[in-house]
Amino acid sequence: MQSNNHTPGQNHQELTHLPVPFPKAPPKEPRFAALRTWWQEAWEEDGVLHAMWEDVLSAPEDGFRYMAPWLRAVLMVAGVSFVVLMAKAAGEVVLQGLHTLLTAVPKVQVGVDTSSGVFAVVDQPVRTYIAQHSAGLPVEGSTVYTLWLLTGIVGLVLGYLSRNNGVRAMWSGWGAASVFMVWTATPDTSRPVAVGLAVLAWTFLSAFAMRGLTLRRRVVAGRPAKVSVKPEIHVHVPAPAPAADQHPHSSCPFRD
List, for residues 33-67, the tens digit of each pLDDT value. 777 888 888 788 778 888 888 888 888 888 878 88
Q: What is the dihedral of CA 168, 173, 178, 184, to 10 degrees?
A: 160
Q: Answer with the residue of higher pLDDT: 25 or 3.
A: 25
Full-model pTM: 0.46
Predicted local distance difference test score (pLDDT) of residue 254: 44
Evaluate if residue 180 carries a pLDDT over 90.
Answer: yes
Q: Higher pLDDT residue, 103 or 87?
A: 87
Whether pLDDT at 126 is above 80: yes
At position 53, the amino acid (one-letter code) is W
**Contact at 8 Å (CB) between 126 and 141?**
no
133-137 average pLDDT score:
81
Query: What does the pLDDT look like over 200-227, one tens digit per residue?
Result: 988 898 888 887 776 666 555 555 555 5
Greatest alpha-carbon pair distance for the chain in Å reads 179
SS3 content of the chain, % helix, strand, coil (to 5): 60, 0, 40
pLDDT at 181: 92
Which residues fall within 8 angstroms of residue 163, CB to CB, at 6 or more apart?
211, 212, 213
Percentage of residues of the chain with pLDDT beyond 90: 7
The vertex-25 CA angle with 19 and 27, nearest 5°, equals 145
The pair phi, psi for residue 45, each rounded to 5°, is -65, -35
d(CA 68, CA 84): 25
The overall average pLDDT reported for the chain is: 74
